[in-house]
Amino acid sequence: MTARNRYDAVAMGLHWLMAAAILALLGLGFTMTGLKPGSPLQFKLYQMHKSVGVLVFVLVALRLGWRLGHQPPPLPATMGPGERLLAHAGHWALYALMLGMPLAGWVVVSTSPYNIPTILFGVVNLPHLPLPRDLNALAKGTHMIGAWLLIATLVGHVAAALRHHFVLGDDVLTRMLPRFGRK
Ligand code: HEM
Ligand code: HEM
């Protein structure tokens, strides 16, 4: 297989780093909102969630920049037009959610009546956006619906990757996997 038929190291590295970060964010998000309100652990997990969430936003901006300059490998010729459309729509939906979720989260903290600061990784203060408090419920609802849309899209994404590998037997999954020294 030539290099053109595989994702490059930057695309692959960002894909797997961000996949780990996003799965952690989903876990943190549902855990922290279920804890006793105002507990020190809850405060810590919220700060961690917000820090990793903003990191995802920075990484997706870099990733989209890289993606625009580097074509991904073409989809297998055996895929029909419907499947191609679904694959592209799924990928762009994931990009949109990776951009939209952190923005909605930023609006949630900026409009919260509790006015809690966000100190990214305990170092950098994320300023609040100058927005009216009335937007808080809408932002919370958007962040929550976004989380479920993300989960649903990811279930389809992972199922498609596994189908390509185990049912169709093509290289769609392996070209996103590092080869660790193999030629
Ligand atoms: C890809 C990025 C992100 C994902 C996947 C994500 C996911 C989640 C999930 C699953 C929840 C629990 C469900 C809910 O109550 O909405 C949650 C809650 C929350 N997230 Fe995020 N989040 C992300 C980014 C951010 C960012 C960047 C911030 C803030 C700067 C943030 C702030 C919050 C807050 C304040 C809550 C609690 C909302 C509430 O009390 O209703 N999130 N997030
Ligand atoms: C939070 C988790 C994940 C997100 C946000 C995500 C997002 C994405 C996006 C946006 C692409 C398109 C890359 C491009 O061409 O621009 C992609 C490709 C891919 N993802 Fe994921 N992904 C995640 C997890 C996973 C997991 C767990 C698997 C494996 C089971 C996986 C397998 C793949 C594969 C095989 C491709 C390449 C598809 C192709 O060759 O066209 N992803 N992913």
What's the 169 CA to ligand 2 centre distance in angstroms? 17
Read off the pLDDT band of 182 (50, 70, 90).
low
Q: Distance between CA 6 and CA 144 in Å, rounded?
A: 35
In percent, the amount of the chain with pLDDT more than 70 equals 97
Closest atom of ligand 2 to 177 CA is: 35
pLDDT at 4: 75
Express each pLDDT in 127-140 by its tens digit. Answer: 999 999 999 999 99
pLDDT at 149: 98
Query: Which domains does the chain show, CATH number per domain?
Result: 3-176 (1.20.950.20)
> Is 143 close to ligand 1, i.e. is its CB under 6 Å away?
yes
> Is 56 close to ligand 1, i.e. is its CB under 6 Å away?
yes
pTM of the model: 0.95
**Taking 70 as the threshold, does the pLDDT of residue 112 lie above it?**
yes
Residue nearest to atom 43 of ligand 1 (CA): 29
**Candidate of 91, 170, 172 to mutate for ligand 2, largest count of ligand atoms within 8 Å of Cβ:** 91
